[in-house]
Amino acid sequence: MADTKKPIIAIEHVDKWFDDFHVLKDVNLSVAEGERIVIAGPSGSGKSTLIRCINRLEAHDKGRIAVDGIELTEDLKRIDEVRREVGMVFQQFNLFPHMTVLENCTLAPIWVRKQPKEEAEATAMRFLERVRIPEQASKYPGQLSGGQQQRVAIARALCMNPKIMLFDEPTSALDPEMIKEVLDVMVGLAHDGMTMICVTHEMGFAREVADRVVFMDQGEIVEEAPPTEFFTAPKSERTKAFLAQILRG
Amino acid sequence: MTVNAAVKWLKRNLFSSWWNGALTLLVLYIVWSAIPPFLDWAIVHAVWSGEGREACLGPGKGACWPFIFANLDQFAYGRYPAELRWRVDLAFLLGLAGLVPMLIPRVPAKLWNLGYLVVAWPMIAIVLIAGDRPGLVGVDTDLWGGLLVTLIVAITGIVASFPLGILLALGRRSEMPVIRTLSIVFIEFWRGVPLVTVLFMASVMLPLFLPQGVHLDNLLRCLVGVALFSSAYMAEVVRGGLQAVPRGQYEAARALGLSYWQTMGLIVLPQALRSVIPGIVNTFIGLFKDTTLVLIVGLFDFLGQVRIQLSDMHWSTPQGAATGYVFAALVYWVFCFGMSRYSVFMEKRLNAGQIR
Ligand SMILES: Nc1ncnc2c1ncn2[C@@H]1O[C@H](COP(=O)(O)OP(=O)(O)O)[C@@H](O)[C@H]1O
Ligand SMILES: [Mg+2]
DSSP per position, A203-229 = HHHHHHH-SEEEEEETTEEEEEE-HHH
pLDDT of A209-232, one tens digit each? 999 999 999 999 999 999 999 999
Distances (CA, A) of B330 to B40, B190, B311, B323, B324: 17, 30, 20, 11, 10
CA distance A143 to chain B (A): 7
Q: Ligand 1 centroid to A46 CA: how many Å?
A: 6
Alpha helix segments (H runs only) across B245-355:
247-255, 260-262, 269-275, 277-290, 302-310, 320-353
Instruction: Name the closest-CA residue to atom 8, ligand 1.
Output: A49
Whether B355 sits inside 8 A of A143 (CB atoms) is yes
pLDDT of residue A1: 45
Q: How far apart are CA A109 and CA A138, in angstroms?
A: 18
Does ligand 1 have an atom closer than 6 angstroms to the CB of A43?
A: yes
**Does any CB of chain A come closer than 8 Å to the CB of residue B247?**
no
Whether B274 sits inside 8 A of A107 (CB atoms) is no
Q: What's the length of chain A? A: 249
Whether B354 sits inside 8 A of A94 (CB atoms) is no
Whether B356 sits inside 8 A of A95 (CB atoms) is no
pTM equals 0.86
CA distance B260 to chain A (A): 10
User: Which is it for strands A70-71 and A86-89: parallel, antiparallel or unpaired?
Assistant: unpaired
A236's CB contacts (< 8 A; 6+ apart) are A215, A222, A223
Q: Residue A113: how many CA atoms within 13 Å on its side-chain side? A: 22
**Whether B293 contacts B222, CB under 8 Å:** no
Q: How far apart are CA B177 and CA B175, in angstroms?
A: 6
Does ligand 1 have an atom closer than 6 angstroms to the CB of A18?
A: yes
Quick one: three-class SS letters along B28-92?
Answer: HHHHHHHHHHHHHHHHHCCECCCCCHHHHCCCCCCCEHHHHHHHHHHHHHECCCHHHHHHHHHHH
Estimate to the nearest angstrom the gap between the alpha carbon of B143 and the chain centroid.
22
**B71 closest CA partner among B332, B330, B293, B327:** B327
A73's CB contacts (< 8 A; 6+ apart) are none
Burial class (CB in 10 A: 0-12, 13-18, 19+), B1: exposed
* Amino acid code (one letter) for A32: A
**A113 closest CA partner among A47, A149, A158, A55:** A158
* First-to-last C-alpha distance (Å) of chain B: 42
ipTM computed for the complex: 0.93
* Amino acid code (one letter) for B3: V
Q: What atom of ligand 1 comes closest to residue A199's alpha carbon?
A: 21
What is the mean pLDDT of each successive set of 10 residues along chain B, which is 356 residues long? 82 84 90 89 86 82 88 90 91 92 87 89 90 84 90 91 94 93 94 90 80 78 90 94 95 95 94 89 91 88 90 84 92 94 87 58
Average pLDDT, chain A: 93
**B256 closest CA partner among A108, A41, A199, A114:** A108
Whether A83 sits inside 8 A of B355 (CB atoms) is no
DSSP conformation class of A233: S
Does ligand 1 have an atom closer than 6 angstroms to the CB of A150?
A: no
Distances (CA, A) of A113 to A116, B24, B185, B259: 9, 65, 39, 12
- Identify the helix (H) or strand (E) that includes residue B183: helix B177-192
Q: How far apart are CA B243 and CA B34, in angstroms?
A: 45
Beta-carbon neighbour count of residue B14 at 10 Å?
A: 14
If you average pLDDT over residues A4-22, what whole number do you get?
A: 90
Q: Ligand 2 centroid to A91 CA: how many Å?
A: 8
pLDDT of residue B186: 94
**Does any CB of chain A come closer than 8 Å to the CB of residue B254?**
yes
Which of A96, A111, A160 lies at the smallest CB-CB distance from B249?
A: A96
Instruction: Name the closest-CA residue to atom 3, ligand 1.
Output: A18
* Amino acid code (one letter) for A106: T
Does ligand 1 have an atom closer than 6 angstroms to the CB of A23?
A: yes
Which of A90, A111, A143 lies at the smallest CB-CB distance from B248?
A: A90
Domains, chain B, with CATH or none = 1-39 (no CATH), 76-354 (1.10.3720.10)
If you average pLDDT over residues A194-217, what whole number do you get?
A: 94
**Does any CB of chain B come closer than 8 Å to the CB of residue A13?**
no
Angle, helices A101-111/A146-158, rounded to nearest 10 degrees: 20
Whether A97 sits inside 8 A of B356 (CB atoms) is yes
**Does any CB of chain B come closer than 8 Å to the CB of residue A147?**
no
Q: How far apart are CA B279 and CA B228, in angstroms?
A: 18
The residue in chain B having the minimum alpha-carbon distance to the alpha carbon of residue A110 is B258
Does ligand 1 have an atom closer than 6 angstroms to the CB of A47?
A: yes
CA distance A97 to chain B (A): 6
Q: How far apart are CA A49 and CA A165, in angstroms?
A: 16
**B160 closest CA partner among B132, B130, B201, B190:** B190
**Does any CB of chain B come closer than 8 Å to the CB of residue A57?**
yes
Whether B355 sits inside 8 A of A140 (CB atoms) is yes
Q: What atom of ligand 1 comes closest to residue A46's alpha carbon?
A: 17
3-state secondary structure of B345: helix
Q: How confident is the model at residue A31 (pLDDT cuts 50, 70, 90)?
A: very high
Instruction: Name the closest-CA residue to atom 12, ligand 1.
Output: A23
- Identify the helix (H) or strand (E) that includes residue B225: helix B218-244
B167's CB contacts (< 8 A; 6+ apart) are none
- Interface A:B, Cβ pairs < 8 A: 65
**B296 closest CA partner among B305, B288, B304:** B304
3-state secondary structure of B356: coil
Q: How far apart are CA B307 and CA B174, in angstroms?
A: 47
Does ligand 1 have an atom closer than 6 angstroms to the CB of A49?
A: yes
DSSP conformation class of A69: T
CA distance B250 to chain A (A): 9
Does ligand 1 have an atom closer than 6 angstroms to the CB of A200?
A: no
Chain A residue numbers with beta carbons less than 8 Å from the beta carbon of B253 are: 96
Chain A residue numbers with beta carbons less than 8 Å from the beta carbon of B248 are: 90, 92, 94
Whether B270 sits inside 8 A of A98 (CB atoms) is yes
3-state secondary structure of B220: helix
